[in-house]
A and B are shown apart, each in its own frame.
Chain A
Amino acid sequence: MKANEDELRQLMISGLDGNAADHAALLRHLVPLLRGFYRRRANGSEDDIEDLVQETLIAVHTRRASYDRDRLFTAWLFAVARYKMIDHLRRNRRLQPIEGLEEILIVEGFEDASGARLDVDDLLETLPVKQARMIRATRIEGMSVAEAATADGIGESDVKISVHRGLKTLMARFQGGGR
């Protein structure tokens, strides 16, 4: 069973009032929450995750005076959890070879870039063929207007108009979809 904000907050407040049983119940409820939180964010071994969970439980216990009863408990909890994760990463990065980190960054960057590329392809698909081709040529592949015109055997003004109309359509669609 997953505990919700209200239950956790009640347990926390009761613990702050000195009720040890509720404090223990709170910490037990937090274990699965924190495991899930760290599994999703820190890609370490199960031992690492458990270390982080325990460190966070200790912090929740020793730093509980910093919780304000009138505010969201989960916001406080995850702020503590996030701090512990960053602290953990900072400590372990010193011991890890830097190449490993770079690889992770590059892979993540590649994923982002390919995701963005797919989005662009999807969008251009919705435009008339000529407009899509001209936008691709001048805005993505980096050709000049003159080069694109020569490559396609059309006039420069034709290229400019196609790009302009295509972008305008896309912009209108974005603004319409954003609302």
Chain B
Amino acid sequence: MNTEDLITKLSADVPKVRRHAVGWRLAIGLLLGALVASAAVVSMLGIRPDLHVAMRGFAFWIKWTYTISLSAVALAVTAQLARPDSGSVRWVWLLAVPVTLLAGAGVIELVRTPPAKWLAMWLGHSWMVCPWIVLGLAMPIFIGLLWSFRRLAPTRLRAAGAAAGLSAGAFAATVYCVHCPEVSAIFVLTWYSLGILLAASLGALLGPRLLRW
């Protein structure tokens, strides 16, 4: 096709783009995916029956603070990597803050618990399934983010894939909190984080293939 014809064709459809379009688009993709993940939790796993009671407790909010702050940082990094001229990626180091705080909470918890109960506290009732459920719930969210990326322009595809996977994993963990009855900080630190890391690794693996444009 002639370049002039191409320009005429492209200019026939010029929709408005609002400010902060990158952030909006990522947020929409994330929330659409989270909607599917929530539906899966409600229909297949069920909301924990004591959610109202738990939401007044400290343990529940430690979990949510951890997963929500991880999601927020991961999403900020994803937004940077969604631009072609991303340069050096700031904010990544912020991921260490929630991890360190949760580890601190874990240490306090261990000190207060007799060593004989440590293993039970660490493994909880669901350590074998928890990372896999987080990974599974991350899938629809990751797909939502892939949709977001269709109008965005990442140039470092592996890093962008990893950041999207991390966001999806952390948000999936946030959704999973409404089902998961585990209370210990070291449980969350290990098994939630493992699920989130699996999602990030899968994103890094698939990024170069799925995010090409």
Contact = CB atoms under 8 A, between A and B. Distances in A.
Interface of A: 15-21, 23-24, 27-28, 31, 50, 53-54, 57-59, 61-69, 71-72, 75-76, 79-80, 82-83, 87
Nearest to B83: A66
B22 A20 contact: no
Nearest to A35: B3
Interface string B178-206: 00000000000000000000000000000
Given A24-B11, A58-B6, A75-B85, 7 more contacts: A16-B16, A16-B17, A18-B14, A24-B10, A27-B10, A76-B84, A83-B84
Nearest to A60: B10
Contact of A18 (B1, B3, B16): B16
B101 interface: no
Given A20-B11, A28-B7, A58-B10, A65 B84 contact: no
7 contacts: A20-B14, A21-B11, A63-B153, A65-B21, A65-B152, A75-B85, A76-B85
Given A17-B16, A79-B84, A79-B85, A66 B153 contact: yes
Interface residues of B, number: 26
For B10, B14, B21, B83, the residue with the greatest tally of chain A CB atoms inside 10 Å of its CB is B14
B119 interface: no
Given A53-B3, A54-B1, A57-B3, A66 B82 contact: yes
B27 to A, nearest CB: 13
Contacts, number: 83
B interface SS class: loop
B61 interface: no
A65 B25 CA distance: 9
A57 B213 contact: no
A49 B153 CA distance: 21
B43 interface: no
B153 A80 contact: yes
A18 B17 CA distance: 7
Contacts of B112: none
A145 B180 CA distance: 74
A61 B212 CA distance: 16
A150 to B, nearest CB: 54
Contacts of B10: 23-24, 27, 57-58, 61
Contacts of B155: 79, 82-83
Given A59-B153, A65-B151, A71-B85, A50 B3 contact: yes
